[in-house]
Structure formats: structure tokens, C-alpha cells
Structure 1
Amino acid sequence: MNLYNIFKYLFDLNLSNMDDKDIEILKHLSVDGRQSARQLSHRLGVSTVTILSRIKKLEEEKIIKGYSVRLNHELLGFDITAIIEIKTNKGKMLDIENEIAKNDSVIAVYDITGDADMVVIAKFKTRELLSEFIKKISAISNVENTLTHLVLNTIKEDNRLIE
């Protein structure tokens, strides 16, 4: 099974316009988004013009949503990572998620299956800031309860393209 079929199977993406070369471009950019089209063309054995046009197409199709820097949060003082399960009254989840997502400490908000309705991943510099955040969440209308887990050790945290 080639990379194309793996992505189609795993993500059910509309990959009709993508081929293995597009997947390779995504793979290289997810490791180092600062690579130039020229560097990519040498690595992948295609012209710079081809690389540029394929990247533009991937951006237009919103497969590439943007470019960013991967930060070392611990070195920036954000030593506390919290995984917060939230149970809500049905029908108000989207409003609650949007409210929580506005907070700068929030890294991710996910709808989930199971006892909780959503999970929030957030990073904090102090326990006091975490405590304030939990109290704010608990005060949001239609939040029934929260369950907070603190990360003791990060084994892997990555946002590269999955193969």
C-alpha cells in the first residue's frame, strides 16, 4: 500500500488531486516548513516551478492551512500541561468550545466519545493560572463538570505529517 492509499484510508481525505509527490512535499514541509522550493526540488527530483505550483495548489485546497513555528513551551516557562475533560448539557457544546478556545493557554479543543463531551489541552506557567482557568470553565453556563489530568512527562508531542 503506497503513501497515497494510506492517507486516503486513514483520513478519508479527498485526495483525488493528490499523488505521491504531493505527499512527499507535505512530509518534507511538516518536518521543516522553512525549506525553499529549490531545496525541495533537489530533494524530490522535480523542478522548482513544479514544487511551487504544487504547494500553491495544496494551499488553495486548504490541505496546507498555514506555516508556523514549533515552540518549546517548557523553555518558555509553560511547565504545566493539563488535559481537561468537560461534560456539558447537550446542545450547548459548540458555544462552550468556542468560548474555551478563545483562551491563550488552550492548545487544542476536541469533541470526544465517552463519559466526557470534550477534551481541552492547555499549558500554564503556574498552578494558580491553571486553577483560575478551571474555575472559569466551571463557571461557563451549561458546563456540568470537569476532570483535570496533569501531564507528568511528555514522551512525544509532534505535529508532523502522519505516514
Structure 2
Amino acid sequence: MTRKPLDQTEKLIIRLLQDDGRMATAEIARRLNSSEPTIRKKLSQLVQDGRLRIRAAADPVELGYEASAFIGIDVERNAIIKVATVLRQYSFVDSVAVTTGPYDLIVKACFKTLRDLYDFILVELAAVEGIKDSNSLMILQSIKNDGLIGVAGLEDGRVHESQTQGES
């Protein structure tokens, strides 16, 4: 089933929440010159459809993680989605992506200790059927850890007054 593209109001709601995930629907409605029930309904639908998740982003070091890494994984072609599904279930895995290039999957994960990273790579990954090889890149310092800020289709990613007039 193909989803319909986000409308301008939905994009603007997402952009405002990227700046302040705790912004009240009444404030979003005020900024977008729309009704609060309309914003509440659109926001609820975005969350229900899985098109928007509101969450906190924090530096893993501040949360007590000693080691973070990007892990490139070479997988048997017929097992890529199966392996990705297994890897996404680990709570310490931040992201799993199917990629082009030398690796079929790239995983970003955060570990409480260096030993946990070691065990994941040499024990856990070795036990996952379909994985041929992996290569780890330890993260020494995270410069940006905010996720993507901005919404495609909005000029320079910011909400401008001219975009909010007459939207509902």
C-alpha cells in the first residue's frame, strides 16, 4: 500500500517538533495559524501511522556508554532482511541500514563497555546465520547526535511566517 505524501501542514508540524518535541498542540496550532483540533488530529495520525516518533536524543557518553561503533556487515544476499531484522532487536543498536558499497548492512550501536562491543562482534554476530564478515569503526567523539533536522520540501528546513498563512 502506497502512502500519500505528507501535506504542507504535516511537514510544518514535524519541523516544529524537531525544534521542540514537547511543544503543545495549541502552540503548534498558533504558529501554523490552524485550529488545535486539526493539529491534534494530524499529529495523532502521524504517530499512529508510524510516520513520526517523538523521542529524546542524548549523547551516549552522557548516558554511560563507553564504546560506540559503526559496524559494516557483509551478508549473504538472500539473508539481508532477515539479518537486519535480527540486529534491530538489540536494545543497544541505534540504527540498522541496508547499504550499497562494501557492506550490505551498516549498524550503529552503543555499548556499556569495550568488552560488550567485543562480545557483540565476536560472539553475537558470529552466531547470526547469513553474516559472512564484519568491520567495526569505533566512534571516538560524536560531533552531531541530533538526528536529521529539517523536512524536505520546506525552504531551508525552517518554518517561515509565509508558510503558515492559510494552512489547515
Q: What's 1:8 paired with?
A: none
Aligned to 1:117: 104
Question: Which residue number corresponds to residue 6 of structure 1?
Answer: none
Give aligned-pair identity as a percent: 23
TM-score where L is the length of structure 1: 0.80
Displacement after TM superposition at 1:102 (Å): 1.6
Pick the aligned partner of 1:157 from 145, 157, 161. 145
Q: Give 1:143's aligned residue.
A: 131
- Measured against aligned partners, the alpha-carbon deviations of 1:25-57 in whole angstroms (never above 9, x if no partner) come to 110112222111111122222222232233234
Q: Distance in 2 between matches of 1:110 and 1:68?
A: 20
* TM alignment of 1:96-111, pairs within 5 A: 96-111=83-98
Structure 1: any 5+ residue segments left out of the alignment?
A: 1-12
Q: Does residue 32 of the first structure (1) align with residue 32 of the second (2)?
A: no
* Contact 2:58/2:145, CA 8 A, preserved across alignment: no
- Deviant stretches of 4+, over 6 Å: none
* Pairwise CA distance, 1:95: 1.7
CA distance in 2, matches of 1:88, 1:146: 9
**What is the match of residue 82 of structure 1?**
69
Once the 2 structures are TM-superposed, how far is the Cα of residue 104 of structure 1 from its aligned partner?
A: 1.5
Corresponding residue of 1:67? 54
SS at match of 1:91: helix
Q: What residue in structure 1 maps to residue 42 of structure 2?
A: 54
| Whole-angstrom CA distance in 1 between matches of 2:41 and 2:82 | 39
Contact 1:88/1:143 (8 A) holds in 2 = yes
1:119-161 per-residue CA deviation (whole Å, 9 max, x = no partner) reads: 1100012110000000111232221111000112212122234
Distance 2:116 2:51 in 1: 35
Q: 1:85-125: CA deviations, max 9, x gaps?
A: 00012211122112222212111111000111111100012
RMSD: 2.0
- Residue number in structure 2 paired with 1:129: 116
- Ranked by relative contact order (alpha carbons within 8 Å, sequence separation 6 or more), the top structure is 2
Distance 1:60 1:152 in 2: 37
Contact 1:79–1:125 under 8 Å retained in 2: yes
The whole-number CA distance in structure 2 between the counterparts of 1:100 and 1:92 is 12
Equivalent residues of 2:94, 2:110 under 8 A apart: yes
Q: Which amino acid aligns with 2:58?
A: L
- 1:7-33 CA deviation, whole Å, 9 max, x = no partner? xxxxxx842x612x3221110112222
* SS of 1:92 mapped into structure 2: helix
Aligned partner of 1:18 in structure 2 is 7
TM-score under structure 2 length normalisation: 0.78
Secondary structure in 2 matching 1:38: helix
